[in-house]
């Protein structure tokens, strides 16, 4: 099956790495980025599940590599980068999607649950950026999409705070701003909210499908040079922090 006509890449073929991609939004992101002509590195902390997911996508004619990756471990992030380097695979697009959700009100959360939330949702994205963004800067091109949430918004009344989860996503947005202000060249770093999505995290009652949810993610992954930098988006529209 030829997918060339569906490509969002007008020039050089890009390679995207997606974290937490064995299921949910991450898996769908791999599928849609692949369908648009990118080579995709599908990563997961569970190797069997991730390899199975990658195989499904390859069976659909997509160019998908697999790499084991636990974003809560610096050693795992470094090993992933090393293995990609050994295969001569450079990452042009980084999608920080891996996430965990702790629902308790913040005063009821256990310390370990709070720490795990920050380990994955905030520090996981930072570990990935710390390794992959300098290489993007050196090569003069990069797109980073931080999958955040409306629960991390600090200026919108009526939103549930989301306890540790909301704090982790507000912090992730702060990381987006910090990095976007730091990088030079054609590097775009943005946050997005996928909406409320029917995944294991979102539950079966959520109104959006993963397919609907990743439109903004795909757009941010393939922004032109004059595209937005350091913003927060839902449905391709800027939303308040």
DSSP 154: S
Q: Which is nearer to ligand NAP, 124 or 163 (CB)?
A: 124
Buried-exposed string 89-128: b where 16+ CB fall within 10 A, e elsewhere: eebbbbbbbbbbbbeeeeeebeeebbebbbbbbbbbbbbb
The binder of ligand NAP chosen from 206, 212, 215, 230 (CB under 6 A): 206
Exactly one of 144, 193, 214, 218 binds ligand NAP (CB under 6 A); that residue is: 193
Given phi > 0 = left and psi -120 to 50 = alpha, else beta, which region is 210? alpha
- The token pair that represents 204 in the structure block: 């079966």
Does position 30 interact with ligand NAP (CB under 6 A)? The reply is no
User: Residue 71 or residue 94: which is nearer to ligand NAP going by CB?
Assistant: 71
Query: Contacting ligand NAP (CB under 6 A), which of 89, 106, 201, 223?
Result: 201
Question: What whole-number distance in Å separates Cα of residue 241 and Cα of residue 118?
Answer: 19
**Closer by beta carbon to ligand NAP, 37 or else 109:** 109
Nearer to ligand NAP, 115 or 137 (CB): 115
Residue among 66, 101, 141, 165 flagged as catalytic: 165
Sheet with 93-96: strands ordered across:
64-68, 39-44, 15-18, 93-96, 141-147, 186-192, 232-234, 237-238
Q: Is 99 in the site for ligand NAP (CB under 6 A)?
A: yes
Is 165 marked active-site?
Answer: yes
15: its two tokens: 């390679």
CB of 107 to ligand NAP, least distance (A): 22
Please list every residue from 51 through 70 that binds ligand NAP, using CB under 6 A: 69-70
Residues 153-192 that bind ligand NAP (CB under 6 A): none
Which of 230, 234, 228 shows the shortest CA–CA distance to 212? 234
Phi–psi pair at 50, nearest 5 degrees:
-65, -45
Binding residues for ligand NAP, rule: CB under 6 A, are 19-20, 22-26, 44-46, 69-72, 97-100, 120, 124, 147, 149, 193-194, 196-197, 199-202, 206
Enzyme catalytic residues: 165
């Amino acid at each position: 099956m030829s997918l060339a006509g569906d490509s969002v890449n007008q020039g050089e073929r890009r390679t995207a790495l997606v974290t937490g991609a064995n299921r949910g939004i991450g898996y769908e992101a791999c599928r849609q980025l692949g369908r648009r002509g990118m080579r995709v590195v599908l990563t997961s902390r569970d190797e069997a599940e991730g390899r199975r997911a990658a195989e499904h996508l390859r069976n659909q004619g997509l160019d998908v590599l697999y790499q084991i990756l636990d974003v809560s471990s610096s050693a795992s992030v470094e090993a992933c980068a090393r293995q990609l380097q050994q295969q001569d695979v450079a990452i042009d697009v980084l999608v920080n999607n891996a996430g965990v959700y702790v629902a308790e009100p913040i005063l009821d959360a256990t310390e370990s649950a709070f720490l795990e939330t920050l380990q994955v949702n905030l520090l996981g994205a930072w570990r990935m950026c710390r390794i992959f963004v300098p290489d993007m800067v050196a090569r003069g091109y990069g797109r980073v999409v931080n999958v955040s949430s409306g629960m991390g918004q600090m200026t919108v009344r009526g939103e549930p705070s989301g306890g540790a989860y909301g704090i982790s996503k507000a912090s992730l947005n702060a990381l987006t701003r910090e990095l976007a202000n730091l990088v030079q060249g054609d590097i775009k770093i943005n946050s997005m909210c996928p909406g409320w999505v029917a995944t294991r995290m979102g539950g079966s009652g959520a109104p959006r499908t993963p397919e609907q949810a990743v439109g903004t993610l795909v757009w941010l992954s393939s922004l032109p040079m004059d595209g937005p930098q350091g913003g927060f988006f839902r449905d391709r529209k800027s939303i308040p922090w």
